[in-house]
Each structure stands twice: as structure tokens, then as C-alpha cells.
Amino acid sequence: MKGVVEIAAAVRAGTISARALAERAISALTADTHVAVTRILHERALAEADAVDALVAAGRDPGPLAGVPYGVKDLFDLAGLPTTAGSTLYADASPAAADAEAVARLKAAGAVCLATLNMDEFAYGFATINAAYGTTRNPHEPSRLAGGSSGGSAAIVAAGSLAFALGSDTNGSVRVPASLCGLYGLKPTHGALPLGGVFPFAHSFDDIGPFTRSAQDMALLWQVLGGRDVPPRRDFRIARLGGRFRDNAESAQLAAIDAIAPDAPLIELPQIARARSAAFLITAYEGGTLHRKALAANAMGFDPQVRDRLLAGVLLPDALHEEAQAFRAEYRTRIEALVADFDVLLAPATPTFAPPIADPRILIDGALSPARADLGIHTQPITFTALPSLAVPLYRPGKLPIGLQLIGGPGREPDLFAFAAMLEANGTIGFSMPQAAAERLMA
């Protein structure tokens, strides 16, 4: 499937209909083998597509996303459907009365919603290993993880079945699967994009963000979802993150970072281990608090791995949460002062490539560690700062994908998009189509 900008231009010009695009995407979703889709929205999709085509026929502009097919992580409210958050506990919940605010904005811009997409239950994990719906497979190598918790959203875009998808990112749940699936994935400045109608995980860190296959598409979605323009820019003050961010990274990532900015200063974020520990604590506490009543009523209905982590969060004392939040407030002030001298900080997005599903462990400090918990070792500390971070894919045709993080100051997402566009233009970053998707196009 073509990109967001190209599809919308073709629909507005009348060279292809939104309905034809929706029907083609429905066929691709039906045939998906990556365990990425939880529900296909046939009737809704065709109705939205027909509405776009009617506007085109009447000579009216359907919007900047005219006819673009997309899907959402299964924690966004969609009118008339239960919001499951990846759990069978909510499979028969009362249907949502209205679309999530982000979905409503996309619809108003002409986009067509086709599917809900797989995730770790209640977004608690970095792997999209779901006890009820299955483990999402990486389109670049189906024996490997797609990452999580927004793995279904990443996999379906990387496979070429949809032009973009929405995910959520609490501690790296967009950036991790973006890195492992070779996509662009955004964690915005905390609170910059609408969270209304999104099933929460940990409110201190929750954000939504898109997955795309180009920097241009990401910038357009930012404009639609956030209502902000992306002005052009050419000169950037760059720094490289050192310390823990270089201790656990692939040689390809470090080589790319050093080639992008060989003369940029190497800086270390202070107390990085404490920041990540505090992020773990806040996440566990807020997640446990959110699900306390459901755990008391039906603990055995939860995914066992998620249940145990939530129960541990329930047991945390209020005073520890308050202490962690006080540290976070102080830490954010320090980090914002540190990054004020730079436009872009460069760091790895994940510590390694997608691990195998059969043995979902990764090397951290020379020892094997569960991927479900530690694929976010580089994203979680950035979440703690509330700064925006854009995962971008190194251009590696024919190889397993891996990405970098472009990190900016508060509200400085446009700097990240402009810098990504520059790196894309010189061939440093870019989407590489999985072999199976390329073969399907050639058939």
C-alpha cells in the first residue's frame, strides 16, 4: 500500500476511490498472517469510504487524509464496539458511545478506520504476547516478535496492509515496535495529543502516537491530530546520548549515530538507573490502582504475566508513589535545562533487533533478560522526562530492522520531523519493505 500523502492526493484527484482502497485493505487484513488484527470493521469502513467518495463527487475536499485506510490499537473507543484493551475481560463490555477524540479527528480529515489491532493485555509489555489473541509476528521475519505493546499496529503497517495506524506509548509501546518493524513511531510531548476515549494504563506517562512508513506521513498526521504546522528547518544543534544508551546498543545504531553527528557532544542523562526504577514504580502503582477492583473480582481472568505485575503494583504503598513522583518533577526540570542547548538528542530506540518468539529474551549488560520487560530500556527513561521522541528506522534493505530515537525539547516535535526528513533524504533512515510484502506487490 502507498503512503498517506500519496493516497490522499489520489483520492482527492479522483484517480482512485476511497471504497476501492477500503475493499483492497479489507482483503489484505482478512489474509493477514501476523496475528495483528483483532476485528475488521467492514461496515464502518465502507460507510466512511463512501462518504469520502460522495464529497469528491460533489467537488468538495474530504480533507488531508482523504480515503486513507488505517487501524487503531484495541484500546481506542470506537462507537458501537466494546473497548477491550486486549483483554477478554472486556470483550462483552458496553459498547463505546462515541469514537475516541483522536479517531474523530482522523475521520473529520477523511481517513477510513478499518480495524482494531492486537496488543499486550492492558498495554503492559513490550512484546505483544497476548494470552487471548496470540503473539503478533514481525513481517520482516515471522519467527520474531513485532514488539509491543502496540505490536499489531506496527506489524500491519510494516506489512503494507494499512497506510498508518494508531498506538499508545506509556514507556515505549510505540517506539519499541517501530524500531523492531522498521517504522516511524511517535511518542509526543506528554499530553500533546488527545487521550479522550483511550483506555488508560498509567496516566502519568500515557500518550498516543502514529506509526507510518515515512517522515512526511508522520508530519501530516501530527498536523491533523495535534493541529500544529511543521515549519521547514535546516540547521540543528545535536547531541548524542552516552552512558547507558551506548552500553546496550547494536553496532549499527552506534555507527549511524556517530556518522550523523560525529562532532556532536556526547552527554549523559544523570541518575538514569534511578529514573527507570521510578518509572517502573509509577507504572506499576498506577496500573495496579486502575485495575484493583477488577483484580479483586476476577484475578484469574487476567493474562497471568500481566496479572502478577498488576498485583505487585497494588501492593506498593502510596508513599513510594509520591516519592517517585517528587523525584520525577525534579528530574524533568534538570533534563529540560540540559536539552535546552540542543534541538535533537540521538539515542538507540531498542537495545537490539527483534528477538525470536521461541526464546523471547535479550542481552542486557551481558545477561539474558525477558524481552517483554526490557525491550524498553532506552525508551522508558525518555518517557520519564515527558520529552517528545520519534523512533526512526535505519535504512537496512534485506536486514532485520532497528531504529534510533530522535528526542527534542518540550513541544518541539516539528524539529524532530524536519530532522528525520533530512536523514531520510540522505538515505540514513527509511522504511524497507518486508520481502513477503514486496513479493505480493510483484505478483
CB proximity list for 136: less than 8 A, separation 6 or greater:
34, 35, 36, 118, 128, 130, 145, 146, 148, 151, 152, 155
Residue type, 371: A
- Name the CA dihedral angle for 66, 68, 69, 71, rounded to a multiple of 10 degrees: -90
Catalytic residue numbers read 73, 149, 173
- 192 with 411: CB under 8 angstroms? yes
Pairwise CA distance, residues 428 & 15, whole Å:
33
379 vs 121, 140, 386, 393, CA distance in Å?
Answer: 20, 22, 11, 15
Can you give the C-alpha Rg of the chain in angstroms?
A: 20
Helix ranges (DSSP H) in 31-142 = 42-57, 101-108
CA 95 from centre of chain: 25
Determine the Cα–Cα distance for residues 185 and 211; give it in Å rounded to an integer: 5
Location of C-alpha cell 533534563: 335
| In contact, 133 and 38? CB cutoff 8 Å | yes
